[in-house]
């Protein structure tokens, strides 16, 4: 429990990593890898705010339609007038703490840039979607196609299911030509403005959604790893300047859970332990939902330098923490790591995906590695023929990695994502097909 009136500092970092050579270009236009000025984002730490996060002890004393984060978790926010005297504010906090389990100053999320380890290769195939090729995404699609024969004499091994991946980020361009038909009918929620406007002023959330679910084989833009077996649910908590409140991130997790998400992908992270965020992660475990988290971009060893929510993974078996690798199969120089705290690596440098207004762009960071794993997990769940527990899903992903020397002492599994091996493992564990019985006519 937090002492009455105590303010807990928490420096959360959004793991968006726009390249120093960032640009936006029309589809089918090959990029020019010349250096441009580094983009600048407003730092959330500079923003003045007086928002408090409160959790009621037992009865829901604080939540209303306008300030609720999660009624189930009894979490709410409260804004104080910045012109009030400090003593008045602490007096109000003391009064509130009589009914509160804890009260903490809300955190701010801001953009954190990372530079790629090396100049991208000249091979056009690598310039486009080298990461998807590296983890054998197309091979996984073929395995799934082969597991679903059309002949009635050969019953299907497993029934395809559409898996919902919730993207808690900066929103999604719901009109993007490469996401048509891949969005959950509910579309999503804006935790900032408490409405359903999930437009993406930052572009980051759309980029993440494209990695998971962009339409394949439509002669447009890119292909998401999840194919037609995945649909995207969006929750927006990051604004167009690249920052937002941690309480809104908690509201997004709550929204994802309440609206049927099977997997939640999170390309943001933070510094200190936060009780509200911990409560939200506990709720994902209670509902048996897989939570995929970017490891972070500060080149830190998470075994000794904690960053949340990634560092909750030691407590919660429904979490997967993902580091970034480059096209040389090396750990990205910006990526966090941890032999006991980060589960696996996935491509996270020079990753091409969609951005708003029917455009595409290259970003780098663990922000890009995490959704690749989330989309792969969706394929595994779809292939399984039954509802896998979050731990089962996590274990399949971890146990089927490709070992890499550069990751042997840097992540738990010692390897990089292999989508084809994970999908095959799920099919091997799937229930045997039921033969159709022929009815004789008498």
**What amino acid positions are annotated as catalytic residues?**
169, 204, 367
What does the DSSP 8-state code read for residue 433? P
- How far apart CA 367 and CA 268 sit, in angstroms, is 7
Alpha helices in 175-235 (DSSP H): 204-213
Beta strands 51-56 and 75-79 are antiparallel
Tell me, letter by letter, the H, E, C secondary structure of 85-115: CHHHHHHHHHHHHCCEEEEEECCEEEECCCC
Q: Would you say 169 and 160 are in contact if contact means Cβ atoms under 8 Å apart?
A: no
Tokens standing for residue 275: 């009780």
Query: Measuring CA to CA, which residue among 142, 218, 208, 211 is closest to residue 180?
Result: 218
Give 208's contacts (C-beta < 8 A, 6+ positions apart): 167, 169, 265, 267, 353, 367, 368, 370, 371
Q: Would you say 391 and 290 are in contact if contact means Cβ atoms under 8 Å apart?
A: no
Residue with tokens 């091996």: 421
């Amino acid at each position: 429990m937090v002492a009455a009136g105590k303010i807990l500092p928490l420096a959360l970092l959004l793991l968006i990593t726009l390249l120093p050579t960032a640009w936006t270009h029309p589809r089918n236009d090959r990029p020019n890898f010349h250096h441009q000025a580094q983009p600048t984002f407003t730092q959330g730490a500079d923003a003045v705010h007086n928002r408090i996060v409160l959790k009621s002890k037992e009865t829901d004393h604080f939540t209303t339609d306008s300030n609720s984060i999660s009624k189930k978790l009894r979490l709410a926010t409260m804004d104080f007038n910045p012109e009030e005297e400090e003593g008045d504010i602490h007096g109000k906090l003391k009064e509130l703490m009589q009914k509160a389990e804890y009260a903490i100053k809300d955190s701010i999320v801001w953009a954190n840039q990372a530079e790629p380890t090396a100049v991208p290769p000249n091979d056009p195939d690598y310039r486009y979607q080298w990461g998807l090729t590296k983890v054998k995404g197309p091979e996984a699609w073929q395995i799934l196609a082969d597991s679903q024969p059309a002949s009635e004499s050969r019953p299907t091994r497993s029934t395809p299911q559409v898996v919902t991946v919730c993207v808690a980020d900066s929103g999604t361009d719901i009109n993007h030509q490469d996401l048509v038909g891949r969005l959950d009918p509910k579309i999503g929620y804006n935790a900032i403005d408490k409405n359903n406007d999930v437009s993406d002023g930052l572009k980051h959330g759309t980029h993440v959604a494209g990695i998971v679910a962009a339409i394949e084989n439509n002669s447009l833009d890119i292909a998401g790893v999840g194919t037609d077996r995945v649909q995207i649910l969006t929750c927006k908590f990051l604004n167009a300047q690249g920052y937002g409140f941690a309480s809104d991130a908690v509201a997004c997790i709550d929204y994802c859970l309440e609206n049927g998400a099977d997997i939640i992908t999170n390309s943001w992270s933070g510094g200190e332990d936060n009780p509200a965020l911990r409560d939200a992660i506990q709720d994902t475990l209670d509902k048996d939902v897989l939570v995929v988290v970017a490891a972070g971009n500060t080149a830190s060893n998470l075994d000794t330098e904690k960053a949340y929510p990634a560092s909750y993974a030691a407590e919660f078996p429904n979490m997967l923490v993902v580091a970034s690798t480059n096209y040389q199969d090396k750990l990205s120089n910006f990526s966090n790591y941890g032999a006991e705290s980060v589960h696996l690596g996935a491509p996270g440098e020079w990753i091409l995906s969609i951005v708003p207004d029917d455009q595409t762009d290259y970003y780098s960071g663990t922000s890009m590695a995490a959704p690749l794993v989330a989309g792969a997990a969706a394929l595994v769940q779809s292939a399984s023929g039954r509802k896998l527990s979050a731990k089962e899903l996590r274990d399949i992903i971890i146990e089927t990695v490709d070992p890499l020397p550069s990751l042997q002492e840097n992540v738990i599994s010692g390897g990089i994502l292999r989508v084809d091996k994970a999908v095959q493992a799920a099919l091997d564990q799937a229930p045997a097909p039921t033969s159709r019985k022929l009815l004789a006519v008498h």
